[in-house]
Structure 1
Amino acid sequence: MAHGQWAVELRSVEKKYGRGAGEVAALRDLSLSFDRGSFTAVMGPSGAGKSTFLHCAAGLDRPTSGSVWLAGTDLATLDEAQLTMLRRERVGFIFQAYNLLGSLTVAENITLPLLLAGVAAEPGWLDQVARRVGLSDRLQHRPAQLSGGQQQRVAIARALITKPEVIFADEPTGALDSRTGRQVLSLLREIVDRDGNTVVMVTHDPVAASFAQRVVFLADGAFAEEMAAPTADRVAARMTRLEEW
């Protein structure tokens, strides 16, 4: 299959930290691909390499060996400036901490990636994105005036504003209560099903994973298995097995 058909592809990725006797392999020969317009959860026991996977796949960190392709571009061919540009324009990020700037309005927080890239928002696009995440009446508010769930919606809107090839979400509901968390996850699933966005979410929560179309399990930095059409119960059972393993 041609590289361009995947949103993200990892080929035989290894990531090692330290030297000599202190060397730790965080990822071992990891090959994974993510379809455009798909929602995938990445799970695994603590120390399985989930964060390292996310950092390498999103171009935040370079693998020790192997290659990462993002929207048909081999990240190894880019210098730091080009990589920064690619992350800014073609990747969206949603974190557990919303990372909003308190001094900016919701509208300014959402359009910040465009401002940093020196690009003007297309007319009407901010309104469309705000409507999509249910924040049309909050654009002039500051983050402190919003609930946690609303702040995470601002973060999702900010991730969508550049029309990225892929959105990486790192424990996006970790700071939210379960009801609010489910609303945010439903929204993520909606932007995949309705709008064709690609979402790759790292999570430890089986309920969160059940909103994805497939779950990829990592163990000891390597691919362990995957599950299509997950349910929270099946994911929890599989995680228990992996942790024992």
Structure 2
Amino acid sequence: MSRALTTTSVGTSALRLESVTKTYGSGENSVTALRDVSIALDRGTFTAVMGPSGSGKSTFLHCAAGLDQPTSGSVLLGDVELAGMKEAALTAVRRDRVGFVFQAYNLMSALTVEENVALVPRLSGHEVDRAWLRELLGRVGMGDRADRRPSQLSGGQQQRVAIARALVNRPEVVMADEPTGALDTRTGRQVLELFRQLVLELGQTVLMVTHDPVAASYADSVVFLADGRIAGRMHHPTAAQVSEFMTNLGEV
């Protein structure tokens, strides 16, 4: 049974950053990682973020996910303003409305595949929706390995479990930070195809930071950062177009 992800927010934007600036430190030692960044991500879209080292990619993701607070500006996750929110409230929002996928899989070695995924709603104080959990495991190709432990899985299989875990609470946005960085080329492409499928079939919104033009080509659009600013945005990208833009980014 296919099940669309639902939210309670209004409007078409799953995520909006408005005039976001993030500065670390003060005085002569201050570093501005983001400078007046404004962008909106529509629901049911797959967006990649790229840029050279030090361009602000990680800070962008951290502010968008409520892991870090902007120095100024506004971050809206659906209809919820994250900027200025107290840490306890932010923790609840991240737990219930954001799914995270990292380069490291961060699975609990003592738990089975099913138990790893079910851990998220349990820690959130929610009842585990077994039908939804089974559907997710089937969608990520792990339905026949629900009783396996992480040590019995390949890296690609562990990342598929991590993706199911990110989706189990039906988040507003899935934030993926270099999700294919630890995978070989073939397995990495399978994971990217899975993200594409989740966007197309479930209406999931995905925001992915990557350094790989091929990975970025799976997205609906690519946002390019340079020196903490948005340097461009490309829709329906190809790997060759992304590579060329990145090569010339210093001239943009």
TM bucket (normalised to shorter chain) is over 0.9
Task: Tell me if the contact between 1:101 and 1:109 (Cα under 8 Å) persists in the aligned partners.
Answer: yes
Q: 1:51 aligns with which of 49, 55, 58?
A: 58
Shift of 1:10: 0.2
Q: 1:25 aligns with which of 20, 28, 32?
A: 32
Unaligned runs of 5+ residues in structure 2 are 1-8
Q: Which amino acid aligns with 1:72?
A: D
Report what 1:110 is aligned to: 117
Q: Which amino acid aligns with 2:204?
A: N
Q: 1:166 aligns with which of 166, 173, 177?
A: 173
Write the distance in 2 (CA, Å) between the matches of 1:243 and 1:105. 47
- Out of 104-113 and 228-237, give the one that drifted further: 104-113
Write the distance in 2 (CA, Å) between the matches of 1:231 and 1:134. 27
Write the distance in 2 (CA, Å) between the matches of 1:243 and 1:108. 47
Write the distance in 1 (CA, Å) between the matches of 2:119 and 2:14. 24
The correspondence of residues 62-211 of structure 1 with structure 2, limited to 5 A, is: 62-76=69-83, 78-211=85-218
Write the distance in 2 (CA, Å) between the matches of 1:185 and 1:223. 24
Q: Which amino acid aligns with 1:164?
A: P
Task: Tell me if the contact between 1:45 and 1:243 (Cα under 8 Å) persists in the aligned partners.
Answer: no
TM-score calculated relative to the size of structure 2: 0.94
Write the distance in 2 (CA, Å) between the matches of 1:72 and 1:100. 31
Q: Which amino acid aligns with 2:215?
A: A
Equivalences, count: 244
Q: Which amino acid aligns with 1:191?
A: L
Write the distance in 1 (CA, Å) between the matches of 2:238 and 2:217. 5
- Displaced runs of 4+ in structure 1, greater than 6 A? none
Q: Which amino acid aligns with 2:139?
A: R
TM-score calculated relative to the size of structure 1: 0.97
Task: Tell me if the contact between 1:94 and 1:167 (Cα under 8 Å) persists in the aligned partners.
Answer: yes
Q: In the alignment, is residue 224 of structure 1 matched against residue 228 of structure 2?
A: no
1:162-190 deviations in Å (ceiling 9; x for gaps): 00010000000000000000000000010
Unaligned runs of 5+ residues in structure 1 are none
Write the distance in 2 (CA, Å) between the matches of 1:40 and 1:136. 27
Write the distance in 2 (CA, Å) between the matches of 1:34 and 1:4. 11
Write the distance in 2 (CA, Å) between the matches of 1:169 and 1:41. 9
Q: Which amino acid aligns with 2:220?
A: Q
The sequence identity of aligned pairs, in percent, is: 62
Write the distance in 2 (CA, Å) between the matches of 1:214 and 1:32. 12
Report what 2:219 is aligned to: 212
Shift of 1:243: 4.2
Q: Which amino acid aligns with 2:74?
A: S
Report what 2:3 is aligned to: none
Task: Tell me if the contact between 2:69 and 2:84 (Cα under 8 Å) persists in the aligned partners.
Answer: no
Shift of 1:76: 2.5
Q: Secondary structure at the match of 2:141?
A: coil
- Out of 150-159 and 107-116, give the one that drifted further: 107-116
Shift of 1:112: 1.6
Shift of 1:3: 7.1
